[in-house]
């Protein structure tokens, strides 16, 4: 792997670990044992949630995974030859210790020239949607996962790996309790799903006043809120058009779902201002991770038009409030244009390593912003995130 002469250190906003089979269950209370199981189906291991087998992640053991960056060409140049997903993914590899443990990961980060990284779980993205009818189970499984993350990775490993625990919001008091638990153990950032919050009376926005005590505590603790790509439950809308009820299957081609794939994050960001939480808590630090930036210009345009027609619906300009968020775009997007839209102070470098959708060599990201002044590059490639986390 070629080493680059970097004029600044890299702080990657989007790295991933691969969980082991015990990640969701090792610390799960006895009354919830059985809610998460691994089962054998035609010789392959699958995960079953509340008795339902999920295909959301085809190989939930992660013993074998797609190679990092396997889809780089697909995302940059498309698929003119009409290859299957299996052909695009290429030959799988065995998961290495660096994907499972922080010590080996640091050695790999040195090879990749990544000085520091936010480390996100992978399997966690399926939890909330498949347990939405049981809010108490969601909180129990999320806490079990966070205990495993803390035991295995810690939330701050040698001031270089900052593992991001999940905080789910169905029961506000439990959410605050979880928030305080992870922060006491060193968490600098939390992961909140960009989706309506499940509840005993049905789903509702995280930006409604009901959740103000939680956001108030987030501000007091000065924690970064990350909204990472997840299963936001929107597959049910596409299923109504398709006429077939099925869960989100991110590795199965569905062109109708592709048309609307960024609707969840667009709605989540709109909710911050339309339901008012960002106005009530302007000190909140919010980062959108692994959702790209394609959704942003249209949202800003729509909000500007709505504000012109219905200014009484907002305390002040919603466009300026949305521009307070931080965005980690996909490397293949127009990063120069995004920097001009929201300012280089609000753009975060994220490689999605070691996922196949990301970059095999994260440092190559700098090639996409080399037209920017070096000072702005340094902000995007790590300075902004370091400031957000106070590290």
- Three-state DSSP class for 228? strand
pLDDT for the residue numbered 260: 81
Give the closest residue to 314 by CA, choosing from 273, 369, 285, 269.
273
Sign for the CA dihedral angle at 216, 264, 144, 123 comes to negative
CA 327 to mean position of chain CA atoms = 11
Mean pLDDT of the chain: 93
Q: Is the pTM of this model over 0.85?
A: yes
**pLDDT, tens digit, for every residue of 223-269?**
999 999 998 888 888 778 777 776 656 666 777 777 888 999 999 99
> Burial, 290: exposed, middle or buried (Cβ in 10 Å; 0-12, 13-18, 19+)?
buried
Residue in this structure with the two tokens 């960024």, named with its chain if needed? 262
- The CA distances from residue 204 to 7, 111, 214, 287, 311, in Å, are 46, 44, 15, 21, 24
Q: Residue 208 is encoded by which pair of tokens? A: 């409604």
pLDDT for the residue numbered 239: 77
Q: Residue 204 is encoded by which pair of tokens? A: 């509702």
* Confidence grade of residue 332 (pLDDT, cut at 50, 70, 90): very high
What span, in angstroms and rounded, lies between the C-alpha atoms of 208 and 193?
A: 15
Give the torsion through C-alpha atoms of 267, 329, 226, 158, to 10 deg. Answer: 170
- Three-state DSSP class for 377? helix
CA 78 to mean position of chain CA atoms = 23
**pLDDT, tens digit, for every residue of 124-183?**
888 899 999 999 999 999 999 999 999 999 999 999 999 999 999 999 999 999 999 999
Give the closest residue to 117 by CA, choosing from 105, 127, 103.
105
What span, in angstroms and rounded, lies between the C-alpha atoms of 53 and 42?
A: 13
Q: Residue 31 is encoded by which pair of tokens? A: 């009354």
pLDDT for the residue numbered 126: 87
**pLDDT, tens digit, for every residue of 50-59?**
888 888 788 8
**pLDDT, tens digit, for every residue of 107-128?**
999 999 999 999 999 998 888 9
Instruction: Give the CA angle between residues 168, 109, 121 to the nearest 5°.
Output: 15
What span, in angstroms and rounded, lies between the C-alpha atoms of 10 and 366?
A: 10
pLDDT for the residue numbered 247: 62
């Amino acid at each position: 792997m070629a080493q680059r002469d970097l004029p600044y250190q890299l702080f990657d906003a989007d790295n991933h670990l691969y969980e082991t089979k015990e990640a969701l269950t090792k610390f799960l209370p006895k009354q919830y044992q059985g809610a998460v199981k691994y089962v054998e189906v035609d010789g392959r291991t699958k995960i079953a949630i509340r008795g339902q087998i999920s295909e959301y992640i085809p190989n939930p053991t992660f013993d074998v995974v797609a190679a990092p960056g396997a889809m780089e060409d697909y995302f940059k140049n498309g698929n003119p030859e009409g290859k299957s997903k299996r052909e695009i993914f290429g030959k799988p590899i065995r998961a290495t210790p660096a994907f499972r443990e922080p010590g080996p990961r640091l050695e790999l980060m040195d090879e990749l020239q990544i000085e520091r990284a936010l480390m996100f779980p992978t399997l966690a993205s399926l939890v909330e949607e498949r347990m939405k009818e049981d809010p108490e189970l969601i909180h129990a499984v999320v806490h079990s996962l966070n205990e495993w993350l803390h035991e295995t990775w810690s939330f701050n490993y040698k001031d270089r790996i900052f593992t991001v625990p999940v905080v789910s919001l169905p029961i506000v008091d439990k959410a605050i309790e979880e928030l305080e638990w992870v922060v006491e153990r060193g968490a600098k950032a939390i992961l909140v799903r960009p989706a309506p919050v499940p509840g005993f009376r049905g789903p509702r926005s995280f930006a409604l006043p009901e959740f103000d005590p939680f956001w108030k505590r987030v501000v007091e603790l000065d924690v970064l809120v990350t909204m990472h790509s997840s299963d936001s439950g929107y597959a049910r809308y596409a299923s109504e058009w398709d006429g077939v009820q099925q869960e989100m299957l991110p590795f199965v081609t569905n062109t109708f779902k592709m048309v609307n794939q960024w609707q969840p994050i667009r709605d989540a960001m709109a909710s911050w201002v339309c339901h008012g939480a960002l106005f009530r808590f302007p000190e909140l630090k919010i980062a959108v991770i692994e959702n790209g930036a394609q959704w942003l210009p249209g949202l800003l345009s729509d909000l500007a038009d709505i504000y012109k027609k219905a200014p009484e619906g907002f305390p002040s300009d919603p466009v300026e409030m949305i521009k307070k968020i931080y965005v980690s775009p996909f490397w293949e997007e127009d990063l120069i244009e995004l920097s001009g839209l929201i300012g280089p102070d609000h753009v975060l470098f994220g490689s999605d390593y070691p996922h196949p959708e990301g970059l095999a060599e994260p440092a190559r990201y700098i090639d996409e912003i080399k037209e920017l002044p070096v000072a702005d590059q340094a902000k995007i490639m790590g300075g902004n995130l370091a400031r957000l986390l106070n590290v």
